[in-house]
Every structure is written in structure tokens, then in C-alpha cells.
Amino acid sequence: MIKTLTAYTFDADDPQAAVDEVLAQLNLESELLANSIGLLCCSQEFIYSGVVKSLCERLPFDTLGTTSLLTGNNGGFGLDMLSLYVITSDELKFATAVSAPLQGDLAGPLADAYAKAMGVLGEAPSLLLNSAPFLSHAGGDVILKHLAAASGNVPVFGGIPCDQHTDFHEAYTIHNGAHYRDCLVMGLIAGPVQPRFYLISISEDHIQRQRAVITASEGNLLKTVNNVPVTEYMSSLGLGPGAGIEASITVPFMVEHVDGGMPLARGVYTFTPEGYAVCGADMPVGATLALGLMDAEDILRSSARLIDSILADGGGKCRLLVSCVSRCLALGIDVEAEAARLHKGLQGGTPYHLCYAGGEFCPEYDNAGNTVNRFHNFTLIACVF
């Protein structure tokens, strides 16, 4: 048996009141089964005030999560909301771990964290929930590569924390009340569960046909496009430093790798002093770029399609959703419009948990129906089981 519980609060100022409000909604004494894990999402204000630490100290299970610009669950949604989602089961097992700071080497700390979680879990996991830090020196696909090496390609689902700042300088990963700027937090789930994954990104008719080629890069640093500096190339599109593109999480570039495969949306987070673009993932030389367009109509239409897909498959007993913060910001003054659409479509059934992220981890399916781990930008993703 699998059950999910949700609770929320908008009180970021009074830890005691906020914790009492959340616990009253959960009714843990009568609702918890043998094993449980908590997923927490909130603005950084809940960390600074002590709400997150106080709440996690009262919970009888491990909790992991992230800061987010906006969050939601069956109870509501909002910019200033803390959402707690509890997965509890007699059959499933859970284990969590925190990596050492990911300053230089990523492989060692991520392998060590996975081994620590496996030491608690004791059996092969079916799913890895991932709260990964924002790193200017390594894109999300590099993190994913090392997680795959450590885990043997266990499906990875999750996101990179975000906040209201363009450089995410107050974005944190969270584990049992502690928060981190440069540590990855993971949660492993083992047992009789077969997660299904859904994702939707930029509509094909919102991608320009004109293509450019990456001619110089270093990992996630984009240096030249069509043999001109990236700043010059972006200026030719009406973008670039001084034109509102710094930390451009609302301007998608569709990257088609030289080895083929589905084009992936990538964002430019910021620029280095040398004028290189810091991107969300590796930008390989030879890959083609095409500018995408995000507008409110397409974002809301795609959200509705994802809801329809989840409901058509039966909806499951656990629904986890992560949307890119760029989708939220591209909505303009109505930043909660997508959250409202998702809430309207999902609130009447199985409890759901929504957070916004600076990058999304979600598997895709190959032609044989097998999962292939991917890192995304500008994408709405879901995991249902």
C-alpha cells in the first residue's frame, strides 16, 4: 500500500505556528505506514526564519527538498507557500543522503553519497529523487552523468533549486532541516513501484527554423557561435549583456547534438567576465542551436496536455511535478497561471506536489520503451507511481 499526504503553510514568520499548522493537516499518528519520506519545497524565507529546521525536527522521517519561487499541492499554491509532501508505505523503502560540497570533483562526492544511501536501503532502488545544487562550473547533465555512473542508471527525477534572483544566489538544497548551496541531496525509493515519467517543453511551432552552430565551448560555457563571440551572436538576435539576457532563464535555445536525438531546451544563466555564456548543460562543439519562444498561451496549453496524459494513464497514487522557473517568469504578471492550471486539473484526485526549478531531471523513453536519464530546461516534468 502507498499513501501520500500533503500539508502547507504561508506563515514564514512564526516557526511554532507554522509547524503546528502543518502537523495538524498531516495527522501523522494515524496516517503513517511502516516507512515514509518527506518532500519539502518553499521560499528561502522559511529557512531563514527557522520554520524548515523546526518542522523537520518534528517529523519522524527523513525530508529532502529545495527552495523554489513557487510551490503547490492539493491544498493550494503560491509564491510564499511551504509545501510538504509525504510518501508513506508498508512495501516501499526509503533512504536519503547528502553529498560533500561539489566544488571541484563531482564523481567522488556523488558516488560516496549514493553508497551511503544504499547502505541504509539495502536493495536496488527503483527511483532516485534528486535535489541538485546550481553550479556555475558544471551543468545538470554532468551531475546526471555521475549519478548514472554511481547508481547504474537508476531513473533520476528532480530539479535544481531556484529563488527570485536571476543568479539563484539564495537557492538551496534541503535535508532534514539543514540547507546547502553546493551539496546534492538524494532520496532513494525501493520496492514494488514502477514510476511513469511525463514531460513537455517548447512546442515545435515555437522554434525558429534558422539554425546556428556551436563553434567553441568548454563544458557548459558557450564561447562562440558561427565563429563569432557568443555575445556578438546573441546581440544579432536582439539579445546579449545589457539587453536583458543576463541569467536568461526565459530565452530558450534548442540544442540538437551532433549524435542526433531529440533537441533539448537549454538556458543561459549568466555571463562570465570574459563574455562566455554560462548555460544549464554542456554545449558541445558542432551542435546546432535554434532560438525558441515561450508565451503564456503555449505554456498553459502544454500544461493542460500533460494533465490529460497523467489522468489518461490512471493518475497513480503519487504525483510529483517540477516546472522550470522560466515557464513561471514567461507568464509575465500572472506568474501563478500555470500553477493554477495544474491545481485545477489535479486537485480532485491523488495528492500532488509541485515545485519550480532552475533545471529539471526527468527520464525520457527510447524506442524500446526503456528510460534514458535526461537533464532539461524550460520543461514541465512529472513522475507518477
| pLDDT tens column, 51-69 | 999 999 999 999 999 999 9
Q: What are 78-102's pLDDT values in tens digits?
A: 999 999 999 999 999 999 999 999 9
Mean pLDDT of 373-384: 95
DSSP helix/strand/coil, 218: strand
71-151-200 Cα angle (round to 5): 40
Q: Report the pLDDT averaged over residues 43-55.
A: 98
pLDDT in tens, 214-232: 999 998 899 999 999 998 8
How would you list the strands of the sheet with 375-376, edge to edge? 93-98, 185-190, 127-131, 156-159, 360-361, 375-376
68 — alpha (psi -120 to 50), left (phi > 0) or beta?
beta
Residue 236's pLDDT band (cuts 50, 70, 90) = confident
Model confidence at 315: pLDDT above 90: no
How far are the Cα atoms of 142, 323, 336, 379 from residue 43, in angstroms, in the given order? 26, 15, 15, 21
What pLDDT does 246 receive? 45
pLDDT at 80: 94
pLDDT given for residue 277 in this prediction:
87
By CB neighbour count within 10 A (0-12 exposed, 13-18 middle, 19+ buried), where does 152 fall?
Answer: exposed
**How much is the pLDDT for 247?**
42
**Across the strands, what pairs with 224?**
216, 229
Does residue 266 contact residue 280 with C-beta atoms inside 8 Å? yes
What pLDDT sits at residue 153? 94
Q: 130 near 376, Cβ under 8 Å?
A: no
Q: What is the pLDDT of residue 296?
A: 92
Q: Are 206 and 384 in contact (CB under 8 A)?
A: no
pLDDT-derived band at 259 (thresholds 50, 70, 90) equals low
* Mean pLDDT across 152-167: 93
The grid coordinates listed for 29 are 499518528
